[in-house]
Amino acid sequence: MARAAAPAARHAVLAWLALPAMLSPLPAVRAQAPAPADSVLRRAQRLVNEGSGTAGRTLLDSVLAATPTAAPRYAEALFWRAALGESATKAEQDYQRLTTEHALSPWAGEALLRLGQLQFARGERSVALRYFARLVVEHAETPLAAPGLFWKARVLLEQNDVGPACDALREAKARALPGAIELRNQVDYYAQRCTADATAPAGAAGGSTSGLPAAGSAPPGGVAPATSSPTPSSGPRLAAARAPEAPWSVQVAAFRTRVEAAKSARALVQRGYEARVDGDEPPFRVRIGRYAARGDAAAALARMKKKKLAGTVVRSGATP
């Protein structure tokens, strides 16, 4: 049994060790969480960064032991214990606790992003995709939505699912904060795949195009491979690959609170639907997909009904 578990354990450790190298060139894509607001937590972070890892982590453990679990400080300390931990397994457990026991904490979104990135580093694409999809749905109104969409697109491109990946890239750019220059550059870089697919001759969509980012290639600044790719200086921008407007969706539920709506959307995401929460005030609508034509949305609804999921076709901005 121990021998069987050893390869998996080594794989987890290697992914944990590789994660900082994979993420550190991308500060604007939320590779690093905001600095701790609490002075004691800042001290713990400084100790770990200066090489006194045991002292820093002991300090974090003492904060957690002395803080009520319902206090906001507990969730923040839990995040930093995970982020500064030595063990991938223990960090993953703390991140999981944040997303379940403290789902309404702002640190839960950071935890979802880290969980997705960790699974991406391990090569577990489908698991990573679920985390990024949850991040986009559950934290749609926060600055984390844009990096969540970017990482979702990266996974989809790895799976050669270019259409949905391009949709995610477009939305990531639309939601990115004005100062998120690096994130916008990353989006533009990967969006070249969208332009290539849109302009490729018939029958050539599956082929490679010289100079365009393939799955696993490194964007400006370098993400995974050691060899870096040149920064596209005058290549096609995201606007060149923009798809037609998609004003139709399928609404499957409406709730009085955003928490209830997010819970419903999360369950749908876990079933494989591209669900989201629409609306800034009650009722909060749970909707699936974006379609260019009403007929496309109706066809999608018909498929959903075969899986015992009821709904109605609506305009994306409407409030039925």
Domains of the chain, earliest start first? 1-32+87-243 (1.25.40.10), 248-315 (3.30.70.1070)
| Residue 79 CB-density burial (10 A; 0-12 exposed, 13-18 middle, 19+ buried) | buried
Instruction: Supply the DSSP symbol for 38.
Output: S
As a whole number, mean pLDDT of residues 195-204 equals 58
Q: Cβ neighbours of residue 248 under 8 Å, at least 6 residues apart?
A: 290, 291, 292, 293, 294, 296, 297, 313, 314, 315, 316
pLDDT of residue 320: 57
- 205-252 confidence digits (pLDDT tens): 444 443 445 544 555 544 433 323 333 333 333 333 333 456 788 999
**What is the per-residue burial (b if ≥16 Cβ within 10 Å, else e) of 112-139?**
bbbbbbbbbbbebeeebbbbbbbbbbbb
pLDDT of residue 129: 95
Contact 136, 266 (CB under 8 A): no
Q: What are 312's strand-pairing partners?
A: 251
pLDDT of residue 168: 94
Three-state secondary-structure class, residue 257: coil
Query: pTM above the 0.85 mark?
Result: no
Per the prediction, the chain carries an average pLDDT of: 77
Share of the chain above pLDDT 70, in %: 71
- 164-189 confidence digits (pLDDT tens): 999 999 999 999 988 888 888 889 99
Higher pLDDT, 1 or 129: 129
Three-state secondary-structure class, residue 24: coil
Q: Is a pLDDT exceeding 60 seen at residue 62?
A: yes
Three-state secondary-structure class, residue 249: strand
CA 198 to centroid of chain Cα atoms: 25
Higher pLDDT, 181 or 151: 151
| Residue 1 CB-density burial (10 A; 0-12 exposed, 13-18 middle, 19+ buried) | exposed
